[in-house]
Structure 1
C-alpha cells in the first residue's frame, strides 16, 4: 500500500520559526485532521507538502517516489487552496473536462449539486457552489492523497454536511489531510488529529488533550465530546 511520508519539514520567515522538524504520514483509507490556531502554519505546511511553497528543508515521499515539486507529485497528490482557483468565463462542464481524466468525469457531471450548474460560467456561481465544485474536482483527480485547506469555507451547513459525508464515502480509495477553522467537524471527521503549535506538530492520542493545550475549554469539551460519549 502506498503511503504519504512527510519528514523533517522546516520553515522560517525573518528568523521566526514557522515549522520545526514536522513529520506526517498518511495512508489510503485514512483521514488526518490538522488543527491549530490562526497563523500557526497549517496552510503553509500543506502548500509545502504539495510543492507550491518553499521550505528550508523537507522530505516528501509517496511509495518509492520522492516528491520535490508539483511536477513530481502529479497524479499522486493534490491540494485544495483556501481561495477559489477555477478560472472565470468558462462553463462548469468545460472546466470538468479540462481538470479531470475522462474516466473520472462522470461522478462529477452527474453529481446532484453540480448537474444544475453545468452550463453556467464559474463567475456566476455563489461562493458555496464554487467550493463544492472545486472540492469534487480535487477529490476525483488521479491523486492518491488529497490535501484540503478550509473545505468548508463559504458553504452552508447543509453543503458542509454533504461534503463531510462525501469525503467519508471516498475514504477507501484516497488518503486525506484536512484543515479548517470549523475544528469541531474536522475532529469528528478525522481518524486522528494533528495539532500544530509554535512550529511543532503533535498527534493527539485523545480529544481531551485539546483542553490541556488550551485549544478548547473544559466546558466546551464536556458539552461537545464527553457528554456525547456517555449517552
Structure 2
C-alpha cells in the first residue's frame, strides 16, 4: 500500500488544545508540506507520528496496519529541530548507525567522504544540520519526517537538500515542516496548514491569506 495515514489526532498541553481532529496522509513518492504559525502544533504532530509524544487520541496506520508508535515499525525516520547525533562520535560511525540500504549514495558525496573521521561536534552548525538531514533522508525508513530541515542552512545548502529529497522520492514519502514557507511551497506535492488545532488543504497563496497565515496585501 505504501501509505502513512493518521486521523483523529487530538492533543492538549494542560488546558490548551493544540490539535483537534487533525488528519493527513502521505504516499511513497509524495512530499506533504505542513505549514503553521509558531505554536500551531506542527512539531507536535510529527512527534506524535514518530511516537515521541503520546497524544490524547490518534489513529495511525502504515501500509494499512494500525500502529501505536511509529518508530517501533522502523518505517519512520524523524529529523527533530535540534541536533540529535551525539557530538563525540565520528561521521563514519553515524553513517553506519543511521544508514544501510542507501549508504553508498552518501559516501559518494564530498561533504561525507572527505570528513568520515571528523567528529560531529567539529562540523560547523550548518554542515552538521545538513549532514544530520542527509542521514535521515537516506535512512532505511520508508517515511521521513523533517522538522525545519532548512533552518541554519545557507541558500546553497537548502537547494542541495531539496535535490536529495527529490532523489529519494521514488522510494520514500516525506512530511516536511519549515518556517521558510516558500521552500515548502516549492517542494511539496500537497500542502496542509495547521491553524487553531485543525488542518486545511492549501492549493494557492490565497488559501494561506484566507486562513491568516500570510498577510492580505
Give the match for residue 148 of structure 2. Answer: 150
Give the match for residue 86 of structure 1. Answer: 85
Give the match for residue 6 of structure 1. Answer: 6
User: Displacement of 1:192 after TM fit?
Assistant: 1.1
1 CA distance for matches of 2:107 and 2:137?
Answer: 14
Alignment: residue pair count: 217
Give the match for residue 97 of structure 1. Answer: 96
Equivalent residues in 2 for 1:37-56 (5 A)?
37-56=37-56
Asked if 1:159 is matched to 2:157, the reply is yes
Bigger shift: 65-74 or 201-210?
A: 65-74
User: Displacement of 1:194 after TM fit?
Assistant: 0.3
User: Displacement of 1:113 after TM fit?
Assistant: 2.2
> Partner of 1:171: helix, strand, or coil?
coil
Equivalent residues in 2 for 1:201-212 (5 A)?
201-212=199-210
> Partner of 1:173: helix, strand, or coil?
coil
Give the match for residue 34 of structure 1. Answer: 34
Give the match for residue 116 of structure 1. Answer: 114
Equivalent residues in 2 for 1:131-146 (5 A)?
131-146=129-144
Bigger shift: 170-179 or 208-217?
A: 208-217
2 CA distance for matches of 1:111 and 1:65?
Answer: 36
1:93–1:109 Cα contact (<8 Å) kept: no
**Structure 1 runs not aligned, ≥5 long:** 220-231
TM-score (norm 1): 0.90
Runs of 4+ in 1 over 6 A off after TM superposition: none
2 CA distance for matches of 1:70 and 1:199?
Answer: 22
Asked if 1:66 is matched to 2:66, the reply is yes
**Structure 2 runs not aligned, ≥5 long:** none
> Partner of 1:113: helix, strand, or coil?
helix
* Higher alpha-carbon Rg: 1
2 CA distance for matches of 1:99 and 1:169?
Answer: 18
